[in-house]
């Protein structure tokens, strides 16, 4: 068995929902994977932020150490955060340290792991993690050369085959394809197409990346359909979320629910005609798997998951708002096509993205890293 430590400031919420803001999709994946790894007998720990919990807490077989802040702004804050991280890593003495996304945190963890003679795994979380232009715009000029060193010296996991290709082309680095995963509900829990009643959107209210206003526009263009919007505010951008909610209230055929607890969101997928995605870029959306679990097809504006939607496997990719409007209108009235697309999505997910299969890939990665 392997001693693994995940460095993820916001992961703790998925083990103690009373601790603060709901975390994102990366943390949701880490929570499911860490639980499964612990159930398989691995020694799993996580270095997380301070949410008022004790310094060391155990949930579901995972040990949590309170050391890293949610946000570190400024040189002094970053230095303190790095020191605290180093102390936590020394206290855990894990075989492998894993970071998902968060390039700056990944860099700090990689350097410290190298100093302590430990192994390091970097799991790409978004296509922007392999976009040099995006990285240059977000970090200092010195960051990218060191980031290249980290990618070439560490062990990298890619969420999608597209990320794997981009990493090879842009950085000359090979990676192990390790996608997101999910448990599948029993087939008896899947509703037939004729019992579905709304068009669904789920995501954080990130104005530039998730483009939630596009969903409001879509609902306005299709007044004969019912729309449901589940949107979680981003810390620091609560004002945009509030403005979005106010605009959504003006769309009479749209039900704006705001944040919904993870254990309650699945019923909305189960009863949806389809899931709409309006993002300009993604990594691997958990929402796709959450929809496909219940044979709910995807109608995506731009993002495609390794060409599946372009091949109309599990859904469709529109490309433009005009096409999205017409595609959603047609799908809503064609139960047989929706059922076929949804069934294809669930079948593909079962064969490629089941949680047990994904955790198998993680265990293979651990053995590769340890040699």
Domains and CATH numbers, the chain: 3-181+354-370 (3.40.50.2000), 187-352 (3.40.50.2000)
Report residue 190 as tokens. 């899947």
Residue ranges of alpha helices (H) inside 116-153 are 132-138, 143-153
Contact, 182 vs 296, CB < 8 A?
no
Top mean-pLDDT range of 58-62, 65-69, 209-213, 259-263: 58-62
Q: What per-residue confidence (pLDDT) applies to 32?
A: 95
Q: Residue 276 — φ and ψ, nearest 5°?
A: -100, 135
pLDDT digits (tens, 9 = 90+) for 244-268: 999 999 999 999 999 888 788 999 9
At 17, the pLDDT band (50, 70, 90 cuts) reads confident
The maximal CA–CA distance of the chain, rounded, in angstroms, is: 62
**DSSP 8-state code for residue 209:** T
Strand (E) or helix (H) holding 44: strand 43-48
DSSP 295-324: T--EEESS--STTTTTTTSSEEE-SSHHHH
Of the chain, the percentage scoring pLDDT greater than 90 comes to 77
pTM of this structure: 0.89
248 class by beta-carbon count within 10 Å (0-12 exposed, 13-18 middle, 19+ buried):
buried
At 73, the pLDDT band (50, 70, 90 cuts) reads low
Give whole-number Cα distances, 356 to 11, 131, 151, 183, 240, in Å: 20, 30, 27, 8, 38
Contact, 61 vs 33, CB < 8 A?
no
pLDDT digits (tens, 9 = 90+) for 330-356: 999 999 999 999 999 999 999 999 999
């Amino acid at each position: 068995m392997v001693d693994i430590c995940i460095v993820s400031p916001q992961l703790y919420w998925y083990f103690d929902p009373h601790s603060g803001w709901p975390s994102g999709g990366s943390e949701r994946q880490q929570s499911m994977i860490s639980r499964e790894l612990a159930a398989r007998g691995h020694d799993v720990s996580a270095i997380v932020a301070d949410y008022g919990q004790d310094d060391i807490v155990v949930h579901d077989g995972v040990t949590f150490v309170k050391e890293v802040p949610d946000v570190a702004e400024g040189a002094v804050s970053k230095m303190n955060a790095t020191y605290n991280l180093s102390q936590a890593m020394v206290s855990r003495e894990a075989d492998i340290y894993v970071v998902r996304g968060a390039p700056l945190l990944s860099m700090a963890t990689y350097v410290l792991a190298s100093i302590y003679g430990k192994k390091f795994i970097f799991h790409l979380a978004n296509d922007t993690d392999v976009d040099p232009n995006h990285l240059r715009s977000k970090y200092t000029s010195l960051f990218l050369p060191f980031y290249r060193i980290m990618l070439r010296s560490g062990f990298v996991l890619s969420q999608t085959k597209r990320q794997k290709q981009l990493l090879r082309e842009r950085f000359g680095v090979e990676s192990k394809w390790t996608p997101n995963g999910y448990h599948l509900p029993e087939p008896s829990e899947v509703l037939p197409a004729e019992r579905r009643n709304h068009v669904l959107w789920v995501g954080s209210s990130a104005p530039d990346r998730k483009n939630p206003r596009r969903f409001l526009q879509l609902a306005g263009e299709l007044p004969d359909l019912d729309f449901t919007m589940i949107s979680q505010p981003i810390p620091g951008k609560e004002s945009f979320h509030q403005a979005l909610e106010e605009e959504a209230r003006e769309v009479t055929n749209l039900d704006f629910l705001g944040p919904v607890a993870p254990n309650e969101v699945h019923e909305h997928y189960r009863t949806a005609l389809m899931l709409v995605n309006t993002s300009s870029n993604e990594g691997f959306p958990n929402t796709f798997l959450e929809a496909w679990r219940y044979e709910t097809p995807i109608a995506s504006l731009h993002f495609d998951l390794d060409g599946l939607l372009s091949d109309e496997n599990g859904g469709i990719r529109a490309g433009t708002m005009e096409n999205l409007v017409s595609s959603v209108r047609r799908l809503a009235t064609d139960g047989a096509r929706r059922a076929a697309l949804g069934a294809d999505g669930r079948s593909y997910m079962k064969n490629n993205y089941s949680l047990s299969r994904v955790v198998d890939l993680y265990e293979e990665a651990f053995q590769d890293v340890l040699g």
